[in-house]
Amino acid sequence: MTFFSFLKTFSVSRLSWALLSGFTLFFILCSISFQHIMKLDPCTMCIYERISMMLLFVSALVGLIAPHNIIFRWAGLLGWGAMAYKGMTLAMEHVHYQTSLFAICEPLYFPEWLPLNQWLPNIFSAPGDCSEVVWSLFDISMPQWLVYIFAAYLIVWGLVVISQFVPAKSQNR
């Protein structure tokens, strides 16, 4: 069995989508614990990155519903790829805010019909400053870690998408 045929077989299993949803849920809970346990105020970009991770989680749940069904699997894959890409671009922009002297973060914006910062302020309010480095691990700031995390999601997503085009092996061998 080749690597891509293994990935295709694995992508049709509930375990693969459960792992994806588990990892994304872990990162969501980390961001909320940074806010409420470590008392680090999220900024506008932090909230947008959190939303990308939450939507990636929803995409994983879509794939988890029926991974054998091509529609659910591809809907999950498309959401996964879109949110990983969006999250990575947001995290890269956030890194720019932290490394540039002149970059200014825009205020948080939600549409009038979906004011998440008013409905759930404990999760979606953004009192922090985008340019401030409030946490780092191994001299890597939180948005830099998010670039790596979302990039890893994109790499795995790309491999899984490529595997979807591998022809099914005959069982008669």
- Residue 6 makes CB contacts below 8 A (sequence gap 6+) with 163
Closest C-alpha among 116, 146, 114 to residue 130: 146
In tens, the pLDDT along 7-53 reads 888 888 899 999 999 999 999 999 999 988 988 888 888 889 999 99
Instruction: Choose, from 14, 30, 46, 173, the residue flagged as catalytic.
Output: 46
In tens, the pLDDT along 64-103 reads 999 889 999 999 999 999 999 999 999 999 898 888 878 7
Indicate if 30 belongs to the active site.
Answer: no
Residues 3-105+126-163: name the CATH superfamily: DsbB-like (1.20.1550.10)
The verdict on pTM exceeding 0.95 is no
Instruction: Choose, from 14, 30, 73, 130, the residue flagged as catalytic.
Output: 130
